[in-house]
Amino acid sequence: MSFLSDTEIRELISKEPPLVKDYLDLEKQTQPNGFEMTVSEVYELIGAGAVDFDNSGRKTPEKKILPFGHDGWIHLNPGVYSIVLNEFVNIPQNIGAVAYHRSSLTRSGVTLGTAVWDAGYSGRSECLVIVSNPAGFNMKKDARVMQLLFFYLGSDADYLYNGIYQNENMKK
């Protein structure tokens, strides 16, 4: 597996549909080995979720939006939160993606819980923010929090993502 370079990412962003759209600053967010994703909304999770083999019992917890202050900042106490990203991605049938949190989060006692972006997925994704630092963590709206790393598959995928999260969070 080899990750796409900044040149390849920019080229795919210029095509239809764009690999990434609704980004805030193409130059700042495009990195040598990936694309930095930014925070649009922060949510508190309320209640339990559930997962099973055939998804008949799958349930995601309810969420309550947490507002950013007038200065654009929010303080997160230790715990688990959900965020929605600003950027909308369109993963082609010959590409997959994985995400890692920025090292600034690690150094602050914060990690992200993410999933694989499958070939064929389109949407404005969500991920978890896990604040382990006993003093909490301050986050500003539109902060760059993760790097999405794209890679070419060995061949085009025969089966493209078509799950319940397809085209999630369309409105912004």
Structurally, how many domains does the chain consist of?
A: 1
pLDDT score recorded for residue 167: 79
Residue 106 lies in a domain: yes
Domain limits for position 97: 6-47+55-152
pLDDT score recorded for residue 102: 94
Q: What is the CATH number of the domain that holds 29?
A: 2.70.40.10
**For the purposes of burial, counting CB atoms within 10 Å of the CB of 39, is it exposed (0-12), middle (13-18) or buried (19 or more)?**
buried
Residue 169 lies in a domain: no
pLDDT score recorded for residue 139: 98
Residue 158 lies in a domain: no
pLDDT score recorded for residue 169: 85
Q: What is the mean pLDDT, run by run of 10 residues, along the chain of 172 residues?
A: 92 97 97 96 96 93 97 98 97 96 96 95 96 98 98 92 83 66
pLDDT score recorded for residue 168: 80
pLDDT score recorded for residue 129: 98
For residue 118, which of 82, 91, 145, 78 has the smallest C-alpha distance? 91
pLDDT score recorded for residue 1: 65
